[in-house]
Amino acid sequence: MDRTTPRARIVSSPIDLGELLASVADVSCGATVLFVGSTRDQNEGRRVVELQYEAYEEMALKEMERIGSAAEAQWQIGKIALVHRLGNVPLGEASVAVAVSAPHRSDAFAAARYAIDQLKKTVPIWKKEVFEGGEVWIGLQGTSTTTNEKGR
């Protein structure tokens, strides 16, 4: 497998989806699945202004590489690439993307779903949601210590 393009990447500028798709192109693969996670304008009734992502970069890259290897071991795929954006991500822009090529579409779908599920479970990247009237670290909802209302 061609590994000149790293399987896992962390970027601070907008994610280039065309480049990501090109990085998994493989003429022996008839199926490619791309997942893109982007900033929604609302979450649990709050009007979101922007998201801020922070990572433990060295470990995050290692975990993303590990997810790629695990996907390659579990399904018959050609190439897989995972990329996460850090810093401020404006509404509607991609914060995370996963691309998988495979000879058959079942494997491409299964591996892409696995990769994004695992990425959200185990990769040390945190998201702070800035909404109208405050901000909150996602993943801590329900604990009274987490919402940090601005202006109080």
Partner 1 sequence: MVVKVRFFAVLRERAGVTSAELAFDRPPSVNEAWELLQQQYPALGPFRECVTFAVNRQYVDSWHPLHDGDELALIPPVSGGCDGEDC
Examine residue 133 and tell whether it contacts partner 1 (CB under 8 A). no
Q: Give the chain's count of helices (H) and strands (E).
A: 3, 9
Q: Which of 28, 12, 15, 14 is nearest to 99 (CA)?
A: 15
Residue 141 touches which of partner 1, a copy of itself, none (Cβ within 5-8 Å per kind): partner 1
Report 53-92 residues binding partner 1 (CB under 8 A).
Answer: 53-56, 58-59, 62
Rule CB under 8 A: say whether 41 interacts with partner 1.
Answer: no
Number of residues that bind a copy of itself (CB under 8 A): 29
Structure tokens, 87: 């810093």
Contact call for residues 42 and 106 (beta carbons, < 8 A): no
47 part of the interface to a copy of itself, by CB under 8 A: no
- Cα–Cα distance, 152 to 138 (Å, whole number): 20
State the residues that interact with a copy of itself by CB under 8 A. 17-18, 21, 25, 27-42, 91-92, 103, 105, 108-109, 112-113, 116
